[in-house]
Amino acid sequence: MNRAKIILTASLLAFAQPASAQDAFKPEQVKSGSETYARHCAPCHGPRMADPEGAPDLRKFPRDQRERFLTSVSKGKNSMPPWGDLLKADEIEALWAYVATGGRN
């Protein structure tokens, strides 16, 4: 019981990454995210997240809402299609690393 509780708490903590956790992203993950971004996301969200073409400005995406980001990308939201069947989970995580760090890492 106790053990289960500890695991649950640990996984909840892992889930709720604080904003400062962006420092923890690995540079290669951010780089991989930037490549996926340039190919699939830049046409609507703008090259390097600047000058979005009709899609939300990702520079303003709340850094404490990783889960919402991952869900929106994989399942789609409003005009954005779902990407979950095209991009692998680690590719979407890398996208988050890129967005959460503002591409700087």
Partner 1 sequence: MRKISSGAILFAAFGALAHAQTQQELLRDGNSGSTDNVLTYGMGYHQQRYSPLRQINKSTVKRLVPVWSASLANEFGEQGQPLVYNGVLYAANVKRVVAIDVATGRQLWMTALEWDPAVARVVCCGLSNRGVALYNGKLFVGSVDAHLRALDANTGKEVWKVKIAEWKEGYSITSAPTVANGVLMTGMTGGEYGVRGFVDGYDPDTGKHLWRRHTTAGPGEKGNETWPAGDAYLRGGGSTWITGSYDPELDLTYWGTSNGGPWTAAARPGDNLWISSVIAFKPKTGELVWHYQWTPAETYDFDGNNENVLADIMVDGVKRKVLMHADRNGFLYTLDRTNGKLIAANPYVKVNWAERIDLTTARPVETDVAKRLRAGEKVEVKPRWTGGKNWMPMAFNPDTGRLYLAMLEETSVYQLNKELPVYKAGERYMGVENTTAPRTPGEPWGYFGALDPLTARPKWKLPLMDLPSWSGMLATAGGLVFSGRSTGEFLAIDEDTGSIVWQFKTGSGINAQPITYTHKGRQYVSVLSGLGGGTSAKRETEGKVLPGGSVWTFALMPD
Contact positions vs partner 1 (CB under 8 A): 39-40, 42-44, 46-47, 50-55, 76, 78-83, 85-86
* Residue 54: CB minimum distance to partner 1, A: 3
What is the distance between the alpha carbons of residues 41 and 80, in angstroms, rounded to a whole number? Answer: 10
Q: How far is the CB of 47 from partner 1 (least distance, A)?
A: 5
- Indicate the residue among 21 and 48 with the shorter CB distance to partner 1: 48
Query: What proportions of the chain, in percent to the nearest 5, are helix, strand and coil?
Result: 65, 0, 35
Helix (H) / strand (E) element for 90: namely: helix 89-100
